[in-house]
Amino acid sequence: MSITLRDVIKEITRRHLQDADGLAMGQCLTAVGWVGGTLPELYEESGMVELSMADVAGGGFAVGAALAGRRPMYIIRYQGFNWFNAPMIINYACKSKEIWGRPCPMFVRSIAMEGGIGPVAGSSHHAIYYRMPGIRILSPMTPNEYWVAYKEFMETDEVYYISEHRGAFPNTEELEDILFDEPDYVLLPISITRFAAQEVAKRLYEDMGIKVAVIHIFRLKPFEISAQALACLRNSRFGGCVLDDDYVDGVAKSIAYDLMAKTSINLDVLGLEDRSAGFVANVDNLPPSREKIHDLILRKIKS
């Protein structure tokens, strides 16, 4: 039986609490669903710490636990809540090692989702943390990527921001780059957009023979791209596009700029529209759809 990303997160959390004397901290952790099925059914005596519904305070409690050496997993159920949770993390935990020589290692599980969530809770918001020093940002969408993220965290004394997405929890497959020596177009997707990018690239190649490369972005900060992937992008005939589940004025544009400087290849960006989301379908604000990505590629190739 295939192991889902959900199963992996659950097992990692169990090991962290029972074998590593760690903590899992957050709101409504033991409520119905156990955070999308990603938590083991453990309670306070095992390190599962229920925090109050005072959003701003939660980050402070987690930072205190990190300073005490408990390596907390701080679970933020909706990424939009980072606007309330982030201040103590980015202004204390992320700076403690540099300024005072005292590391504050914590593993921030920040979970995104779309559809009927409204203007505050939905989407990814990794750009809030991206501009701050002292943090590492990874966006694992596969079982192996999550193991890599956790093992790196346990081997270092850094603050890790893990940008998750509920839509990836059922995933059992690893996502491999699709590379060509001379691609027609290149997609560089982040978070949940990685699945749509993969599907569009395969469909365009099978149906029309269009060579769309896909370079998956797992490490956002520090941003990493292989030499082979960079060469693929440099040889693109019609450029490429960075895809994100956050607003484009942030991570997507920053990565696009860095890559354009390295390759002299023009890159577009697609992400959330510059507007607030509503609660019903016709006013929601969703990540780039397969259709939107498909149409962008054809437009660029035919222009």
| Pairwise CA distance, residues 196 & 191, whole Å | 10
Q: Are residues 66 and 93 in the same domain?
A: yes
Peptide bond into 133 cis (omega under 30): no
Angle of helix 251-263 relative to helix 227-234, nearest 10 degrees, comes to 80
Are 163 and 238 in a shared domain?
no
Instruction: Give the number of domains in the chain.
Output: 2
**pLDDT at res. 303:** 77
Residue 44 burial class via C-beta count within 10 angstroms: exposed 0-12, middle 13-18, buried 19 and up? exposed
229-259 residue pLDDT tens: 999 999 999 999 999 999 999 999 999 999 9
DSSP 44: G
Could you tell me if 275 and 246 lie in one domain? yes
pLDDT tens for residues 60-82? 999 999 999 999 999 999 999 99
Q: What is the pLDDT of residues 109-124, one digit of tens each?
A: 999 998 889 988 889 9
What pLDDT, on a 0 to 100 scale, did the predictor assign at position 55? Answer: 82
Q: Which two tokens stand for residue 292?
A: 């939107």
Q: Say whether both 159 and 200 belong to one domain.
A: no
Q: Is 65 contained in some domain? A: yes
Q: Which residue bears the tokens 């929890």?
A: 169
Domain extent at residue 242: 185-302
Would 222 be classed as within a structural domain? yes
Residues 147 and 224 in one domain: no
Is position 259 within any domain? Answer: yes
Per-residue pLDDT at 1 exceeds 90: no
* Residue 176 within any structural domain of the chain: no
The CATH number assigned to the domain holding 81 equals: 3.40.50.970
For residues 123 and 245, the answer to whether their CB atoms sit within 8 Å is: yes
The whole-angstrom separation of Cα 285 and Cα 245 is 10
CA diameter of the chain: 62
Strand-strand pairing, 135-138 and 219-221:
antiparallel
Strand partners, 111: 164
- Residue 295 has, within 13 A of its CA and on its CB side, a CA count of 6
